[in-house]
Amino acid sequence: MNKELFGVFGGIETFKRFRSDDEFDEILEGKTITAGIRDSGLGAPGWSATYSDENGICLIWGEAYVPGEESNAARWLLEQYSTEGEDALRNLNGSYLAVLDADSTDQAFVATDMVRSRSCFYTDGPSVRVFGTDASEVGRTLASPKLHRDGVLDFLHLGVTLGEKTWVEELFRLPLDSQLTSDSVTQLDRFVYKPRNFDYVQELADRLERAIDRRSKLPGTSGLLLSAGYDSRILLSQLPDIEQCYTVGYPEGQEVTGAKRLAEQYDVTHTSFPPDERYLRAHESKVRYSQGIKESLHIHHAGYTDQISVDTIHHGLLCDTFFRGHFTEQAGIDVLGKRICFDRLNSNPDPVEVLLERFGYIPEASLDLADRMSFDHDVETYVRETVGEAVDSIADRADQPQNELTGCGIANQPSIPFHNHLSDHFFTGFLATDAELVEWHLQTPPEYRTTETFLRAFKRIDENVLRHRPPDRPHDTELLNEAESFVRRKTPFLSSFDPPWPNRDVLFDQYEFDQRLLPELECTHPLPARHKLRINDIQRWLGIWSNRKEMLSPWLAPSNTPSL
């Protein structure tokens, strides 16, 4: 990968057992931790930073903002921690990992941001604790890596490996809002739901403006991944230096047409990327960003990277989750196989049931897949238990079931590889992870974390925000949008709304990916494209860093299928 943080709880000689000096732009050695960082943007405003003095060392990896005029977030954290302790981490804003080894700390540590938008992988396999941002590089330190059964099952059935697991035994990742020390993993208390009464609309508007302003200082020319929906258009509206907008979609499709209208409204150049084989092509340049925990299909822009000609990329990822209740469960009824939602929340949601649908669980496909696997398990029992455990792990941070399921969704967000890939190639603003906006999410009751609240706040920032409505949401209320969508699908001669994303199964067949990605695994060819892409992700990711053939396909050798 182009950018990386890698470290050990040990001295420089321990570090050199695993990595070479010339792999990193800078290596800092503290009393407990030695860590190296590679980042072409090191030292840029709002980005990765390092600092050391007689009091200790500090590294910040990713996007980071601090109060006041200080330009070096690492220096700020090193100094502030000496007087504020863990409260200093509350004031460190952005999408980052922080490494601190200083006289002011009881123990040196690596800390996540509030929502674990940047993963930290670690292992004690080589007899010393090793950590890093590239799971494959941390995995390479294991002498005899073995496939993690439950990590693989999570991913194949749900599209995301839950909690701290990866696809490899002894290779873990830090949980949500936590820190890693030489001998422990401890929970922090920044991400805790504490609803209160305040002006939800005005506060959201004010905080959005400040969060966008912080990200306006990222270096160089700026671009935006733009959809025709709500979330990315707020950045288009408020960032004055956006020069290019990019949309993946068919040139004549509703998504591209809507995005192009938005770009014209704000006088910005627009480029569309037609969904050809690059959209699904899952080789090393894409799969490695799945990090052994998530689906590469979310990195739909990866094949077009060389055509994105800007320094900084902005996006609206997770705005629907934090501001518009993506994981909250609405009350509703099922009509002819379609869920029609009401404008109120379910008073007693089942978090496990909701999350199974929100993640990527398709019962029929999973049963079909299980028949092709050597892992003996009851699919329905397994997925419900593993999701239940993930919900339980977040329960202490939530005050009610709606926040339990939302918190669990945030802790295990499947689409984070989207941001991983962008941040490895560009400076990247991640609006939804702004600490002020996350705080708004935690303090706003779920019944007010809605599209209506979001749009009311947005209109206070830009009254022209809905001059061009999203093509599949022509009305102000979700119920009316759902009703029109239903009528269009069921009425002859009325065209349905276009889906926002291309059809994966059609593209998979069109470009013959069965033969190109899985030529030796014919037993998998009848499966849906999404599940075949998951299988390919595991095969490719393990193959990137491990030459142990026994890791690659024993889980796809059931007794009724020829050995692979």
What single string gives the DSSP state of each residue in 143-212?
Answer: SS--B-HHHHHHHHHHSB--TT--SBTT-EE--SSEEE-SS-EEE-SSS------S-HHHHHHHHHHHHH
522: Cβ contacts below 8 Å, ≥ 6 apart: none
pLDDT of residue 7: 98
Strands 56-65 and 49-53: antiparallel
Identify whether residues 117 and 22 lie together within a single domain. Answer: yes
Stated pTM of the model: 0.93
Identify whether residues 35 and 66 lie together within a single domain. Answer: yes
Range of the domain at 393: 349-411
Angstrom distances, CA of residue 214 to CA of 207, 211, 239: 11, 5, 10
**Last residue of a domain, which of 490, 523, 542?**
490
Identify whether residues 319 and 449 lie together within a single domain. Answer: yes
186: Cβ contacts below 8 Å, ≥ 6 apart: 178, 179
Whole-number percent of the chain with pLDDT over 70: 91
pLDDT of residue 374: 86
**Last residue of a domain, which of 490, 523, 547?**
490
- As beta bridge partners, residue 49 has 60
Residue 214 lies in a domain: yes
| Nearest-angstrom CA–CA distance, 259 and 249 | 10
pLDDT of residue 559: 41
Identify whether residues 141 and 206 lie together within a single domain. Answer: no
| Nearest-angstrom CA–CA distance, 137 and 132 | 8
pLDDT of residue 502: 83
pLDDT of residue 332: 61
pLDDT in tens, 283-319: 777 999 999 999 999 998 999 999 999 999 999 999 9
Identify whether residues 125 and 24 lie together within a single domain. Answer: yes
Residue 339 lies in a domain: no
Indicate the number of domains in the chain: 4
Identify whether residues 292 and 170 lie together within a single domain. Answer: no
Identify whether residues 404 and 425 lie together within a single domain. Answer: no
pLDDT of residue 484: 64
pLDDT in tens, 316-326: 999 999 999 99
User: Which residues of the chain are modeled with pLDDT < 70?
Assistant: 332-343, 474-479, 481-490, 492-500, 548-554, 557-564
pLDDT of residue 493: 62
Sign of CA dihedral 187, 189, 195, 199: negative
pLDDT of residue 74: 98
Residue 32 lies in a domain: yes
Identify whether residues 311 and 451 lie together within a single domain. Answer: yes
pLDDT of residue 558: 46
Residue 115 lies in a domain: yes
| Nearest-angstrom CA–CA distance, 468 and 247 | 16
pLDDT of residue 175: 97
pLDDT in tens, 61-110: 999 999 998 999 999 999 999 999 999 999 999 999 999 999 988 899 99
